[in-house]
């Protein structure tokens, strides 16, 4: 009697063929993207999205062509930070035209499509068991965004990942080896411990981890014009990765993110620190193409 592998094709829907076709569409859509950089952490609330936007501004400030894809479908924040909530949706020759910030950064985020008062609600024909299929659905929608946007020629496509150590690993598998990763932590062992798990999970992938950024590394007091400590104590967890830089918390930057306003005041230590991180990332990416 024949076995599964003796029979070509599938039961008639060609599910595998459709999945492979989607992967080809994604590859085609990203063909002109020079560097695909995913910004993740494992830990939530460490400032991944803010850092992603600030990195994009730093790259853009150097004249690079940059876009951001907000992969956090459930808690998207890039549209708000970019000031692009409710941005018009225009079909271009090669897919959706990414709306752009005033400085020219393309931003694709679910937050631009649906109001913040609305929960991201995936359709379901079966109720009460979303834990079974939801992750698959999310990756399918993420793939639709990668494939259905006309990214065009870009120097950097930054992907703002949702939190979760295992999630970070799953995105690495989905994006493939071409995606380089930057991990974000804050200066606490609670955070470093979780990020360390993400690093351990990522070791199972061929993806390159460029290093980590220590975010909220002190806070900037504009009155004293100095960076003061925010977290105390020595690091007890070694991530075993190069530190790309340390970025202090700046209340003005946080307020600008809330307003969707750009924040590129070169005199602020946070902006200077992000520029250092961006330069380090560029250097690392250029070393190995």
The size of the interface with other proteins (CB under 8 A), counted in residues, is 53
Supply φ then ψ for residue 16, to 5 degrees: -65, -40
Site membership for other proteins, residue 206 (CB under 8 A): no
d(CA 47, CA 215): 7
Torsion of CA 197, 201, 203, 204, to 10 degrees: 160
CB of 169 to other proteins, least distance (A): 20
**Minimal distance in Å, beta carbon 170 to other proteins?**
14
- Which three-class secondary structure state does DSSP give residue 59? helix
Q: What residue has token string 């360390």?
A: 196
Residue corresponding to tokens 């946007």: 149
Contact flag: residue 100 with other proteins (CB under 8 A) = yes
CA proximity to 213, closest of 288, 278, 284: 278
Contacts of 273 (CB under 8 A, 6+ apart): 217, 245, 246, 247, 248
- Residue 124 near other proteins by CB under 8 A: yes
Between 119 and 224, CB nearer to other proteins: 119
Nearer to other proteins, 17 or 206 (CB): 17
Does the footprint of other proteins cover residue 162 (CB under 8 A)? no
Per CB under 8 A, the segment of 46-54, 147-155, 191-199, 278-286 that binds other proteins is: 147-155
By C-beta, is 132 or 190 nearer to other proteins?
Answer: 132
Binding mask 127-146 for other proteins (x = CB under 8 A): x-x--xxx-xx--xx-xxx-
Q: Measured at the alpha carbon of residue 37, what is the angle toward residues 286 and 134, in degrees to the nearest 5?
A: 160
> Residues with Cβ < 8 Å from 182, sequence gap 6 or more?
37, 38, 39, 40, 55, 209, 210, 211, 212, 213, 244, 281
Instruction: Look at residue 188 and give its three-state secondary structure.
Output: coil
CB 40 within 8 A of CB 171: yes
Tell me which of 93, 223, 234, 266 binds other proteins, using CB under 8 A: 93
Choice between 22 and 268, CB closer to other proteins: 22
What is the x/- site pattern for other proteins, positions 6-45, by CB under 8 A? -xxxxxxx-x--xx--x-----------------------
Nearer to other proteins, 149 or 278 (CB): 149
CB closer to other proteins out of 110 and 253: 110
Binding site for other proteins (CB under 8 A): 1-2, 4, 7-13, 15, 18-19, 22, 87-100, 113-114, 118, 120-127, 129, 132-134, 136-137, 140-141, 143-145, 147-149
């Amino acid at each position: 009697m024949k076995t599964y592998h003796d029979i070509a094709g599938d039961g008639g829907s060609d599910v595998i063929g459709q999945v492979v076709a989607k992967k080809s569409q994604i590859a085609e859509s990203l063909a002109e993207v020079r560097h695909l950089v995913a910004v993740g952490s494992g830990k939530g609330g460490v400032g991944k999205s803010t850092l992603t936007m600030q990195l994009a501004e730093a790259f853009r400030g150097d004249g690079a062509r940059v876009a951001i894809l907000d992969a956090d479908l459930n808690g998207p924040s890039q549209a708000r930070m970019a000031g692009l909530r409710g941005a018009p949706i225009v079909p271009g020759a090669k897919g959706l035209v990414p709306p752009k910030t005033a400085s020219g950064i393309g931003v694709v985020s679910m937050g631009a499509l649906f109001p913040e008062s609305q929960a991201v609600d995936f359709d379901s024909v079966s109720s009460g068991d979303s834990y079974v299929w939801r992750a698959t659905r999310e990756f399918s929608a993420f793939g639709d965004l990668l494939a259905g946007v006309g990214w065009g020629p870009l120097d950097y496509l930054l992907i703002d990942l949702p939190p979760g150590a295992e999630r970070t690993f799953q995105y690495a598998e989905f994006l493939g080896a071409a995606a380089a990763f930057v991990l974000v932590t804050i200066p606490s062992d609670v955070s470093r411990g979780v990020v360390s798990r993400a690093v351990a999970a990522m070791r199972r992938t061929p993806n390159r981890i460029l290093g980590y950024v220590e975010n909220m590394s002190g806070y900037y007091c504009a009155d004293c014009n100095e960076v003061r400590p925010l977290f105390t104590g020595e690091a007890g967890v070694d991530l075993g990765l190069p530190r790309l830089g340390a970025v202090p918390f700046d209340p003005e930057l946080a307020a600008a993110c809330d307003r969707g306003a750009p924040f590129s005041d070169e005199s602020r230590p946070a902006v200077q620190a992000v520029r250092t991180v961006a330069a380090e990332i560029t250097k690392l990416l250029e070393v190995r193409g």
